[in-house]
Chains A and B, each alone.
Chain A
Amino acid sequence: MAVTASIRDSSSNAVRAALTGGKRDVRGMLFALTLLLCLLGALLVLTVLMWDVIAQAIPVFQKRSTGFLTNDLNSSPDKAGVSQGIWGSLMIAMFVVLLAFPVGIAAGVYLEEYAKPSRFNAFIRLNIRNLAGVPSVVYGILGLVVFVQGLDWLTGGRSVISAGITLAILVLPIIIITTAESVSAVPSGLREAGYGVGGTRWETTRDHVLPYAAPGILTGTMLAVARALGEAAPLLLIGAITGRLASVQGQSLVEKMQGKFTTMPIVVYGWANEVNKPGEITGLTFEQLNSAAIVVLLVMVLALNAAAILLRNRFERNRQG
């Protein structure tokens, strides 16, 4: 295959040289170079960002080791840690999995498998597309009014329950849209075979359509969790704690979930506003601490993102082959 490719390349080069009279297309090459620079420029930003954050974070992990991951928020850079942020973010992820996954996948399946082309269903589709474009801070207002104030007997007010439900609602359109896309990509022959042997619509969906669409749905749900883990704006409105947050000993899980909370992105936001004075014992600043917190956040978010993209690419390749 490599041999045929090299023959094809050399012959196409020969043809091109004959057509252009051997002159090089300088303008075209400059154009291609500019385009490449645009792409590399975008990637360069990512590289500089990562480099800067990691270089700043290394001393934190060296001097504080696991203490940084297990300590509570604190006003001293010698003691402050991200354990509460990690706990809050994991709780958020749990709410997204428990609430947004079932509802989102069910809605996506309805739109592709059940919905007839009626005005009502067209309205649902339009509505979901518009919901996906609503700024995240507006979802924060929804969470503030409905879950923090309206349902405070259930959520405990400014708590991780309110935050989790709000972010589950925020990512719901993403899950619905990706589910609908992967379900509509299922070959109709699979459905027809299911109906042909007498399956009902639900039996065909459950046994044939969903298993085939599963990788695409999984990719969408992973991207949705990653989005929820990185989201900060709605949580500011719901009232996540940016300053000092003391852990209370001996709380039950329900009490803890109804109490004050913070998440990783909120920790990053809070520390970005801290005074940049080195701690007396370790000599670390909040700027360095914050870089370390960003490393923790990026590991959580980008690992999920990368896994989702790899999964999608692998299945796209298998389906084509």
Chain B
Amino acid sequence: MSSSSVTSQFTIGDLRGNPRRIRKERGMRLLLLVAAATSIVISALIVYTLFKEAWHFLVLLSDESGLGALIDDGANPGWYPRNGRFDLPTIVIGTVLVSLVSIVVAAPLGLGAAVFLSEYASPRTRKWLKPILEVLAGVPSVVFGFFALRVLGPDLIQPLFNTSQTTSLLVTGVAIGFLVTPLMASISEDALRAVPTSLREVSTGLGARKSNTVIKVVLPAAVSGIVAALIISVSRAVGETMVAALASGRLGQSPRTLDVRDPGLTMTAAMAQVATGSDQVVGSGPVFQSLFFVGALLFLMTLALNMIANRIVGRFRNKY
């Protein structure tokens, strides 16, 4: 071929590349997009099933005993599904108390561990301690439930706080606290390590002690990340099921209580115990259906907490 014929035969089509490769590229792109869009389908399914069945529960309840059963203002309020008494404050208060106890345990332990790992530990110590903490994060929650039932309740909490029985909201809260400590530590450590070294250097250069630098410079700079870690830990504690089902001390029904030393019921424990109880037939009245209503409420609570935490994390990422 001579050079003059090349210029005449060279068309725009030659620049487009191999059609088979282009088709393959488009196919792969579509396949990957479908995979990513699966997550939206899953979310839609979760929201649809939760709220459809929760609505069904409300309809059943208003037919049987009226919606007033959701807030019991009698003399002895409580969550007694079999008797048609669905006192929401009982299980919501149970969940709030357990989450408060767990954050009281997890916040100092987790934050302290995070500050030590990020500010004090030598790289070599850190290399050993961090993986062990991460392994702790992998212990299944049902194991913590059994541990709370067998060791924490009878050997630690009962003698220390003089509770009436070995299981209580307090035992559940402490066990969940230990369960979320590694999470708290790991997110706070990320926040602390995101603080630029120059801030520490300036503080040290001005003559501040190490402890003053940590307390007055590093921690305030990382405060939004630490708050996010707290919120995410609370959200995890609110949704934790197995420990609550094993160690809270009630089976499917409970009077309302404000004392953490009493046995009680959380939202998650109420769900798990309805599901494993004898009324496992769907459509058998509001008892089983209450599962979905409580689930929907739990979903909304954790979603709100996670959205707030995400927003805060996004802000501290942008700052440095």
A residues contacting B by CB (< 8 A) are 19, 25, 27-28, 31-32, 34-39, 41-43, 45-46, 48-49, 52-53, 102-104, 106-107, 109-111, 113-115, 121, 123-124, 126-131, 133-142, 144-146, 149, 169, 172-173, 176, 198, 200-203, 223, 226-227, 229-233, 236-237, 239, 242, 265, 268-269, 272-273, 287, 290, 294, 297-298, 301-302, 304-306, 309-310, 313
Chain A residues lying within 8 Å of B37, measured Cβ to Cβ, are 124
B165 at the interface (CB under 8 A from A): no
Asked if A127 and B306 make an inter-chain contact with CB atoms under 8 angstroms apart, the answer reads: no
The A-B contact count (CB < 8 A) is 271
Chain B residues lying within 8 Å of A140, measured Cβ to Cβ, are 275
Chain A residues lying within 8 Å of B67, measured Cβ to Cβ, are none
Main secondary structure of the interface of B (DSSP, over half): helix
**A50 CB → nearest B CB, Å:** 9
> Once the chains are docked, how many angstroms separate the CA of A272 from the CA of B178?
19
B residues contacting A by CB (< 8 A) are 17, 21-22, 24-25, 28-29, 31-33, 35-40, 42-43, 45-46, 49-50, 53, 108-113, 115-117, 119-120, 127, 129, 131-136, 138-147, 149-151, 178, 181-182, 185, 207, 209-212, 214-215, 232, 235, 238-242, 245-246, 268, 271-272, 275-276, 280, 282, 291-292, 295, 298-299, 302-303, 305-307, 310
> Once the chains are docked, how many angstroms separate the CA of A297 from the CA of B147?
14
Chain A residues lying within 8 Å of B276, measured Cβ to Cβ, are 236, 242
Main secondary structure of the interface of A (DSSP, over half): helix
> Once the chains are docked, how many angstroms separate the CA of A201 from the CA of B142?
44
Chain A residues lying within 8 Å of B25, measured Cβ to Cβ, are 200-203
Give B282's nearest chain A residue, CB to CB. Answer: A149
Chain A residues lying within 8 Å of B303, measured Cβ to Cβ, are 130, 133-134
**A32 CB → nearest B CB, Å:** 5
Name, among B113, B185, B280, the residue most crowded by chain A CB atoms within 10 Å (CB to CB). Answer: B113
**B43 CB → nearest A CB, Å:** 5
Asked if B36 and A141 make an inter-chain contact with CB atoms under 8 angstroms apart, the answer reads: no
> Once the chains are docked, how many angstroms separate the CA of A170 from the CA of B36?
15
Chain A residues lying within 8 Å of B40, measured Cβ to Cβ, are 123-124, 127
> Once the chains are docked, how many angstroms separate the CA of A44 from the CA of B123?
22
Chain B residues lying within 8 Å of A128, measured Cβ to Cβ, are 39
Asked if A133 and B280 make an inter-chain contact with CB atoms under 8 angstroms apart, the answer reads: no
Chain B residues lying within 8 Å of A242, measured Cβ to Cβ, are 276
